[in-house]
Structure 1
Amino acid sequence: MSTVATLLRLARMRRTAGASHLEALTWAGGLLWRNHRTTQRRRSVERRSEVARAARHLL
C-alpha cells in the first residue's frame, strides 16, 4: 500500500475518533514519520551487527 493511501486511512481513522481534518493529518503524518525513522535506525543497527559478526568470524 502506498504511503499516501496509508496516510489517508490513518487520518480517516483519527477523524472517526473526533479529530479535525488538520489534527488527523498531523497525527497520521507523525505516526508515519516515526515509523520511517524507526525503520532507518533498525536497518543501521542490523548492518552494524552484521559487520561485527563478520569481523568476529574472521578472528
Structure 2
Amino acid sequence: SNFLLWQGAYAEMLVSETLWPDFGVDDLKAALADYASRVRRFGARPEDEKVARGAG
C-alpha cells in the first residue's frame, strides 16, 4: 500500500545508523537535538524566511 507516501508528506523523518533493538536514550536525545536545530519555513522559500517567522 502507498499509505506512507501520503502520511509522510509534511513529516520530519530521521534515518539513523543505529538498529532499532540498539536504539537507546542517547540516540533519542541526538534525534531530538537534530530536530530542534532545524529551521522550519512551513513551505516558504529561504528568501521569504522573515515572512515564515511572522516578522513580515
> TM class by shorter-chain length?
0.3 to 0.5
The TM-score normalised by the length of structure 1 is 0.37
**TM-score normalised to structure 2 length:** 0.39
Larger Rg: 1
Higher relative contact order (CA 8 A, sep 6+): 1
Structure 1 or 2: more helix by fraction? 1
